Amino acid sequence: MAVDGAGYAVVGRIRRSAFDVAVLAELVAPRGGSRALLRRAIGLAGRALVMIALPAPDERATFLSLGFLPAPYTLRLLGKPLAGALDADLAAWRFTLGDTDFIWEPRDTRGARARRPSRRSVRFGPSLLAAGAAAIVATMVSRASASSANKRMPTISKEADVGTGTFDRPPKPVDRYTLTNRSDMSVKILTYGGILQEVNVPDRRHRVANVTLGFANVNGSSTDSYVGSGNSPYFGALIGRYANRIANGQFSLDGTTYQLPINNPPNSLHGGFFGFDKHVWDVVRADVGPQGPELELHLLSRDGDQGFPADLDVWVTYTLTDDNRIKIDYKATNDSSTLCTIVNLTNHACWNLHGEGTSDIYDHVLQLNADQYTPITSALIPTGAIDPVAGTPLDFTKPTPIGERIRDSGNQQMQFARGYDHNFVLNRPSPTDTSTIWAARVTDPASGRTLTISTDQPGIHFYSGNVLDGTLVGTGGNAYRQGDGLALETQHFPDSPNHSNFPSTVLGPGQTFQTHTIYAFSSSPRT
């Protein structure tokens, strides 16, 4: 690749202070330059000056823009590159675009090259640096204004009739909504089950990938669609009325025993055979609000639905913010004037921060804000005890790779679940505290993507994809095998109605239950 004095260039300084993000100017570097302007540009830009110049056959070519992450010497690609993905090593003054190295080689006092190229490369000398520096002085203000004006706006759009919800009577058409923000993140949500079908997030090199497991089709075969998969994996779905398990499908309220469907023998799981994940939700609102694009869904669950008492009105609002957060707000009202009911709501997204269908999650590094957990029986039902995680494979109080202890054959809890399938008790100052706290943080070292989950709920259920067996085909066309995703479900404890020492999930007549969970995505530099 030939580079001369003409081309698009980026010049700016290295910012060292934490959380100081600098967006560099985009400009066209003319031939020649001025040493006086170079000195002035260095004074404006700081001690360390960095430049990349690329061939520009015409002024309509795509600009290359860079910005600094909140870590020293690390660059992040903000604009669309001319070709390939860009990486940078400022310590070596090396910038890699696709399969080509761009190296500016400063010379030491003896005139020797400070670095030698290891691959096909393009060198930037002082004259080209001077040209870029001169141009930045003349164009900084105008280009910054144009960049701001062209910034992508948050949007929400609808695709009508992408499938049919056959469990509703009569069957209902399914729509898909796409939410986008200003930061290259997008989310696709189906009205069927309120499912998070895709969550597309950039990594440390600004490459975007879908990081949640799911299916490409609403309807189809038993291996590649939401409606067709008889033994639903619940990918991305809203779960209710009661998330997680209830022992033998039974609980009692006010002297009456209620029987739920046994869809996970010998227990009832995630609301029964036809829980909230199997219904087409009504759209109440789809617009761009102060925080970003919002989609509000509604479902009415009638008295007796899957054996649960009382009419229950449920609203769920998805919001995508510009700082790459998905916020889910839940609201449920017991419409009965006489009957109590039980409520436990969550979203069953399964995450793979490397990209769905690309690998397992055993190298993901997990930290949980939980010193205790609820041990289970061989039927995966809590014993009623609340035990410390210390000294067990369930201790994630410090960042730990998920696969580090998952094969511990000497731990009975790991044997029962065939991995992780446990509820963790979040650290709170008191049992009645409902403030929003961080619950979990998981990082994929390869991509740098990090997911931090915050909630006002008392527990978080960690599931390591133990039953995935290669029979399901995901959104990207690849088979999902054991350990290819993890779920981190914020919720009340499993089987709470049958354990008086667990936080109550009873919702009395006329009462309203509200909760929220925030999924915050970020990227970290390679360490």
pLDDT digits (tens, 9 = 90+) for 39-73: 333 344 333 333 333 333 333 223 233 332 232 32
* pLDDT computed for residue 70 by the predictor: 30
Where do the H-state alpha helices sit in 288-372? none
Mean pLDDT of the 191-212 span: 97
Active site residue 348: yes
Shared domain check, 416 and 270: yes
C-alpha–C-alpha distance, residues 234 and 209, integer Å: 21
Q: What residue ranges in 191-311 does DSSP mark as E strands?
A: 196-202, 208-210, 238-239, 245-246, 250-253, 256-259, 268-269, 282-289, 292-301
Count of domains forming the chain: 2
CA–CA gap between residue 297 and residue 283 (Å, rounded):
5
Q: Are both 145 and 161 inside the same structural domain?
A: no
Last residue of one domain, picked from the residues 98, 125, 149:
149
Residue closest to 156 by CA, chosen among 186, 187, 179, 183: 179
Residue 130 inside a domain? The answer is yes
Task: Judge if 34 and 20 occupy the same domain.
Answer: yes
Whether 457 is covered by a domain: the verdict is: yes
Share of the chain above pLDDT 70, in %: 70
Q: Length of the chain in residues, anyone? A: 527
Distances (CA, A) of 101 to 48, 116, 121: 20, 11, 5
Pick from 203, 196, 268: nearest CA to 234: 196
Chain segment 301-311, per-residue pLDDT in tens: 999 999 999 99
111 and 167 together in one domain: no
Last residue of a domain, one of 88, 121, 149: 149
Q: Which two tokens stand for residue 484?
A: 């290819």
Q: Which residues fall within 8 angstroms of residue 169, CB to CB, at 6 or more apart? A: none
Task: Give, as one character, the DSSP assignment of residue 30.
Answer: P
Query: Which of the following is catalytic: 270, 364, 489, 499?
Result: 489
pLDDT at site 229: 61
Say whether pLDDT at 244 is over 50. yes
- 159 flagged as catalytic: no
**Average pLDDT for residues 253-259, to the nearest whole number?**
97
263: number of Cβ within 10 Å: 18
User: Which one is predicted more confidently, 64 or 446?
Assistant: 446
Residue 35 has pLDDT above 50, yes or no: no
Indicate the residue among 149, 179, 194 that finishes a domain. 149
Q: CA-CA distance, 24 to 12, in Å (whole number)?
A: 6
Confidence of residue 323 (pLDDT cuts 50, 70, 90): very high
- Once rounded to an integer, what is the mean pLDDT over residues 9-22? 31
Residue 17: pLDDT over 60: no
Cα(78)–Cα(267) distance, rounded to whole angstroms? 49
Domain of 212, in residue numbers = 155-523
pTM: 0.74
Which of the four pLDDT bands, split at 50, 70 and 90, describes residue 524? confident
Catalytic-labelled residue, pool 206, 270, 279, 348: 348
Among all chains, which residue has been given the structure tokens 């020797």? Answer: 112
Residues 199 and 220 reside in one and the same domain: yes
Same-domain pairing of 84 and 160? no
Q: Binning pLDDT at 50, 70 and 90, where does residue 431 land?
A: confident
